[in-house]
Amino acid sequence: MTIPAIQINNIHKQFGDLQALNGIDLTINQGEFFGLLGPNGAGKSTLINVMAGLLKPTQGNVAIMGHDTVNAYQAARMALGVVPQELVFDPFFNVREMLRFQAGYFGRGRENDVWVDEVIESLGLTDKAHTNMRKLSGGMKRRALIAQALVHKPPVIVLDEPTAGVDVELRQMLWQFIKRLNKDGHTIILTTHYLEEAETLCERVAMMKDGKIVALDTTANLLSKLPGKNLRLVLGEATLPTTLFPMLKSGQNGVFTLALTELSQIEFALSELRKANIAVQDMQLIEADLEDVFMSLVGVHANEKAIA
């Protein structure tokens, strides 16, 4: 049997009175593209920090490629590349120097310089290789952070919200890059606020809330759990008839979204609108997405579009 890329057993983490992680069990197989979703404070970053050895669990253990993160921490860290969420950098060095130092910390010597240059090129940092980290734009710093996690060729890569605050073009570029890493055999664990991102990239998803995993399944299975569709109605100045309120998912500025459990409800909705003499200006039938699954599980209000 193949060793799992990440094996998390009954992890608890307590900060004073706060139970940040409350019994997490999770197995991520080698080669998987795995998504970790959840609102702020759900415990995603805490879990990543425990995996990376930056936090010690109050209880439980984690193994990276079969190496325990406490008893065999050196082998475990060799197998793991972490892209932190914050745009942190060392202001004394340029991109190439910083990457070579990072590779050196992992025991890599000058023979690794070719790989460092390859990573620099793949992430479009060649022009900035001699630029001080301090002088890079936010997007470039983000790329450098990703490069930093790759310099020692780790089989498992954890990206903690890699596309937070980056523009659409860079997001697409990073998606392509991360997909390629996964295709090349790297196991990818991605935390994200963007459900669209998880839906596009991840084969399997865990949803967290209050330090617990509330859903763990393939993305396809999670989506199939909510067969319902959404009906989006643009009514202009008119208000929604009260008979449709039980179906209402969200409503703002004359645009109402109704959650449908079966398609026959469309006819019911339209007849109620006719009865109330309300003209429909526009209408759309929308497939349920991960956000709907997420909201049904986590209970976050629909207006919080970018699930925090």
Partner 1 sequence: MKLIDDMISPAWRGTYTLFKKELFRFWRVAFQTVASPILTALLYLLIFSHALEGHVQVYKGVQYQAFLIPGLIMMSLLQNAFANSSSSLVQSKIMGSIVFVLLTPISYLQFFCAFLAAAIIRGVLVGFSIYVVAIWFVDLPITHPAWILAFALLGSALLGTFGIIAGIWADKFDQMAAFQNFVIMPLTFLSGVFYSIHSLPPIWQAISKFNPFFYMIDGFRYGFFGQGDISPWISLTVVTAFLLVLAWLCLKMLKSGYKLRG
Question: What does residue 237 show for φ and ψ, rounded to 5 degrees?
Answer: -75, -25
Element (H, E) at 62: strand 59-64
Considering beta carbons, is residue 80 or 213 the nearer one to partner 1?
80
Token pair of 2, please?
A: 């193949």
Pairing, β 212-218 against β 229-234: unpaired
Pick between residue 90 and residue 282 the one whose CB is nearest to partner 1.
90
Nearer to partner 1, 55 or 300 (CB): 55
**Residues within the interface to partner 1 (CB under 8 A):** 15, 49, 52-56, 73-75, 77-78, 80, 82, 84, 86, 88-93, 97, 101-102, 104-110, 148
Q: How far is CA 195 from CA 35, 145, 200, 229, 304, in A?
A: 9, 22, 9, 17, 12
Nearest approach, Cβ of 35 to partner 1 (angstroms)? 22
Cβ proximity to partner 1, 101 vs 245, nearer residue: 101
Backbone angles phi, psi at 113, to 5 degrees: -60, -35
Both tokens of 93, joined, read 């060095």
Q: How far is CA 165 from CA 44, 82, 137, 168, 185, in A?
A: 18, 18, 12, 9, 28
CB of 57 to partner 1, least distance (A): 10
Comparing CB distances to partner 1, the nearer of 78 and 298 is 78
Angle, helix 113-122 to helix 95-105, in steps of 10 degrees: 130
**Minimum Å distance from CB 8 to partner 1?**
18
Smallest distance from partner 1 to CB 36, Å: 18
Least Å from the CB of residue 81 to partner 1: 8
